[in-house]
């Protein structure tokens, strides 16, 4: 056994929580709550714009659920074997070393987390614009206002409690169910006539970029493994049940959209849920769903700002060129520098999205290649860690090894290819920003050598 393998139990034992308390249905509720977000109110229109028929669009949503399950099973083994709060950062660090892990942390600051804040803010802007337009750049203005307002509230120390977050999640799911009922019952037959041909490349990869964004979040959900009762049995069951429920709900919502608007109506919509509710219940229906989506999206933005500031604070402690991020403000009980730098980057991305007049799509393009690149590296690390730490306990083992993780790597590789080939110039910008982290890594190494020399 290597020294690294002998040291591993000490690392993980300090992070393992007390006696597991979560039951199977608790885990299912948490996973469903994490995964279902604002994307389902925006991405169906983008998928429809690239689908030749409603059946193709529904097939891609079903395919996304299957792909997500394959990845979730792989992450379940990693999370139960390495119960570390660093998640992907820790897996990459252990498999590839500090440089790759630090580059991932840079990507979260400059691309992934800030891009997620921006794209959520654009969803908020699109639906608020259904209530009151603020001119030609209405969605962008609302997006910037939301980010700045939530940042200020966190800066002065006002935090949204977990109970409020949970109620907003319930509100979000309730909004989806309302859309389903309205689309399937009230607007029955609205989309019955054959739709005109929808323009688009009809490439599965380009549609999956948006679909898998909407399924995103299960990789965060596996962190509950340390608190799950009978984890060897319940981890797989909770993943199967939760992703089955999510896939079923997403299919039902898209069927409602197709029934209420038709494929062409979906493809041309800027706020598909609001347009569907307007078709079904008139203006009051559109106002109701717009309010629900706007409030629920604020919940997601707030949580993303909160967690992102803290991961950037951790980066400041480990990464010398950005050490100013590692300053903690005791008055606000938060890393103020990390918070405001994150907000500055997100507002800059709002400006970039405004140039295209397709802010949400541009932010998906911006984040997708970097996200799938590191997801692929995590998939590869699965095999490295299986060999490197062969002797550690693995409470959950992925079924059909090595076929399942190979499929996961192939999916990530295909999505990386699709996000580069079938997206706009935002993808290139995201890659360029990621590469800017390489000279920062070199500067970090140089500063660390200088510090070591001064201590000697």
3-state secondary structure 311-358: HHHHHHHHCHHHHHHHCCECCCCECHHHHHHHHHHHHHHHHHHHHHCC
Measured in whole angstroms, how far is the alpha carbon of residue 202 from the centre of its chain?
24
- CA 396/CA 237 separation, integer angstroms: 11
Residue 159, number of CB atoms within 10 A of its CB: 13
Distances (CA, A) of 197 to 90, 257, 260, 270: 47, 17, 17, 19
- CA 15/CA 238 separation, integer angstroms: 22
Write down the residue that tokens 């979560």 correspond to: 22
pLDDT at 309: 82
Dihedral angle computed from the Cα positions of residues 176, 235, 205 and 402, in that order, rounded to the nearest 10 degrees:
-170
- CA 224/CA 222 separation, integer angstroms: 5
Q: Is residue 443 part of a domain?
A: yes
Continuous H helices in 389-402: none
pLDDT at 15: 43
Give 41's DSSP letter. G
Domain that holds residue 26: 21-451
Q: Is residue 298 part of a domain?
A: yes
Q: Is residue 369 part of a domain?
A: yes
Q: Is residue 5 part of a domain?
A: no
pLDDT at 67: 93
- Crossing angle (nearest 10°) for helices 162-181 and 283-318: 140
pLDDT at 226: 60
Structural element, H or E, at residue 300: helix 283-318
Q: Is residue 25 part of a domain?
A: yes
Q: Is residue 4 part of a domain?
A: no
Which residue stretches of the chain have pLDDT < 70? 1-21, 33, 85-86, 157-169, 186-202, 220-227, 231-232, 332, 456
Percentage of the chain beyond pLDDT 70 is 84
pLDDT at 225: 61
**Cα end-to-end span (Å), the chain:** 34
- Crossing angle (nearest 10°) for helices 231-267 and 24-35: 30
- CA 238/CA 372 separation, integer angstroms: 24
φ/ψ of 329, rounded to 5, equals -100, 110
Measured in whole angstroms, how far is the alpha carbon of residue 4 from the centre of its chain?
32
- CA 351/CA 377 separation, integer angstroms: 31
Q: Is residue 9 part of a domain?
A: no
Write the CATH number for 272.
1.20.1740.10
Write down the residue that tokens 């079938």 correspond to: 422
Domain count, the chain: 1
- Crossing angle (nearest 10°) for helices 98-107 and 437-455: 130
pLDDT at 164: 56
Q: Is residue 290 part of a domain?
A: yes
pLDDT at 66: 92
């Amino acid at each position: 056994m290597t020294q690294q393998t002998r040291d591993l139990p000490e690392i993980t034992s300090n992070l393992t929580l007390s006696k597991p308390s979560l039951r199977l249905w608790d885990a299912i509720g948490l996973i469903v709550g994490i995964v279902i977000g604002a994307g389902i109110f925006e991405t169906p229109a983008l998928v429809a714009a690239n689908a030749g028929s409603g059946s193709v669009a529904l097939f891609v949503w079903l395919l996304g659920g299957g792909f997500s399950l394959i990845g979730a099973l792989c992450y379940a083994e990693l999370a139960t074997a390495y119960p570390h709060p660093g998640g992907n950062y820790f897996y990459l660090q252990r498999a590839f070393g500090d440089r790759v892990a630090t580059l991932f942390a840079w990507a979260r600051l400059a691309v992934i987390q800030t891009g997620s804040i921006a794209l959520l803010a654009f969803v908020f802007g699109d639906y608020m614009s259904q209530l009151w337009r603020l001119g030609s750049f209405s969605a962008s203005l609302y997006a910037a206002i939301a980010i700045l307002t939530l940042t200020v509230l966190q800066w002065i120390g006002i935090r949204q409690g977990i109970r409020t977050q949970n109620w907003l999640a319930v509100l979000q799911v309730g909004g989806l169910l309302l859309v389903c009922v309205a689309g399937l019952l009230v607007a029955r037959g609205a989309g019955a006539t054959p739709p005109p041909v929808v323009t688009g490349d009809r490439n599965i990869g380009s549609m999956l970029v948006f679909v898998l964004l909407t399924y995103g979040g299960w990789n965060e959900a596996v962190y509950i493994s340390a608190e799950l009762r009978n984890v060897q049995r319940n981890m797989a069951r909770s993943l199967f049940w939760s992703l089955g429920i999510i896939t079923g709900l997403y299919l039902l919502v898209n069927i409602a959209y197709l029934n209420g608007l038709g494929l062409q109506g979906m493809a041309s919509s800027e706020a598909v849920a609001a347009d569907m509710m307007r078709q079904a219940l008139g203006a009051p229906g559109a106002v109701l769903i717009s309010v629900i989506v706007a409030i629920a999206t604020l919940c997601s933005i707030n949580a993303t700002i909160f967690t992102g500031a803290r991961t950037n604070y951790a980066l400041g402690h480990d990464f010398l060129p950005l050490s100013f991020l590692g300053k903690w403000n005791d008055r606000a009980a938060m890393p103020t520098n990390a918070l405001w730098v994150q907000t500055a980057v997100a507002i800059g991305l709002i400006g970039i999205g405004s140039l295209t007049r397709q802010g949400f799509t541009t932010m998906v393009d911006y984040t997708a290649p970097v996200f799938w690149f590191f997801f692929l590296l995590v998939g590869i690390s699965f095999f490295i860690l299986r060999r490197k730490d062969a002797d550690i306990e693995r409470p959950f083992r992925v079924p059909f090894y090595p076929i399942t993780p190979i499929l996961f790597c192939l999916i990530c590789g295909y999505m990386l290819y699709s996000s580069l080939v079938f997206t706009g110039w935002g993808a290139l910008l995201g890659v360029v920003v990621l590469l800017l982290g390489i000279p920062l890594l070199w500067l970090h190494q140089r500063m660390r050598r200088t510090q070591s020399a001064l201590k000697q």
